[in-house]
Amino acid sequence: MCVEDRISNFSDHILCHILSFLPIKEAVRTSIISTKWRNLFASISIIEFDGDLLRRLTDRNIDSFKNFVDRLLKFPDQVRLDCFRLHDGISSWNDGDHDFDVSGWICAALCRGVKEIDLKLYNLGDVPPDVPPVLFTCHSLVNLTLVALGFKIEVPSDVCLGNLKTFYLESVFVCDSINRLISNCHVLEDLAFMYCSVANASELNIQSPSLKELTLYFDPPDIDQYSVVINAPNLVYFRYGGDIVRVYPLGNMKSLEKAQIYIWFGSETNAAHLYQGICNIRSLTLQISKEVFVCADFPNKSTSYIS
């Protein structure tokens, strides 16, 4: 009995949309179905390589994988990308024997008008690559996640991410030029700054009228002389964790409705200053280490502490 292949009668656009929901490995396998399917996988709008896939690479096929990614991102007649996602799964991206062109892949995704870039890379080797400057002048980006141990963030003077709404940074090296990036994201709504190395920066200056959610986590040893200035009049949700730094002014955050503060170590004065700036909001979760809590000059010491 002959079974009609109705799926193949769909337009290429619909088929590519269907393939975008499959893991990249399964999407590639569809190329053997027929001539019509041979190169459809190269036109999918979501390109994702997760840790599970990368952990299966061996010395024999790792170079083939690199070539495959190069061809996939630079395929002729490319469609616009909705998302490029690359998560760790190998021991090192740059071990001398197998150097991955991560910066080149980012640039290729940007050339295809990508809307979301999600990088979580913890094994970039002894000499991590710099973030390509073109990343900070991409008008198509809406969501940007950079979790990259050792990645260096140097923001060019012509930075402009006009459509960026969500920006998540973790474990990267930053300098004062990061402030220029934040102030030039004119529709930014959600910013997270997590455990970034600030040894080469003096302050984090958050000037953003559009910002609604802000998450800050700091860790020693870089924070002794570090300060944070927040000018976000439309901020609704604020979360802070780790060691306390000098945070000010906070007084203009009249829209703030909810805050979660977790302080482990740091200056008692800084802790009290932060608390005073947010103590009148509707919902406040405040957890402070016993050492800081006992010494700090809080207006009301009915707040619980962490022993």
Supply the CATH number for residue 266's domain.
Answer: 3.80.10
- What pLDDT shows up at residue 306? 45
Q: Do 35 and 179 fall within a single domain?
A: no
Complete DSSP assignment for 143-200: EEEEEETT-EE---TT---TT--EEEEES-EEETTHHHHHHT-TT--EEEEES-EEEE
The answer to whether position 306 is within a domain reads no
pLDDT of residue 54: 65
Q: Is 232:209 a contact under the CB 8 Å cutoff?
A: yes
Q: How far apart are CA 259 and CA 256, in angstroms?
A: 8
Distance, in Å, from the CA atom of 2 to the CA atom of 11, rounded to the nearest integer, reads: 22
Compute mean pLDDT per 10 residues along the chain, 307 residues long, and list them. Answer: 66 72 70 67 74 68 77 71 77 56 85 90 60 86 87 83 93 84 93 82 86 86 68 90 69 80 71 71 77 51 43
pLDDT at 303: 45
- Residues 75, 22 share a domain: no
Q: Look up the domain containing 258 and give its range.
A: 45-290
Rg (CA), the chain: 23
**Contact present, 52 and 23 (Cβ < 8 Å):** no
Does the residue 262 lie in any domain?
A: yes
What pLDDT does 261 receive?
83
pLDDT of residue 117: 93
What is the end-to-end Cα distance of the chain in Å, rounded? 73
Per-residue pLDDT at 91: 46
Whether 142 and 252 map to the same domain: the answer is yes
- 79 shares a domain with 31: no
Q: What is the pLDDT of residue 40?
A: 66
Q: How many domains does the chain have?
A: 2
> In the prediction, which pLDDT does 304 show?
44
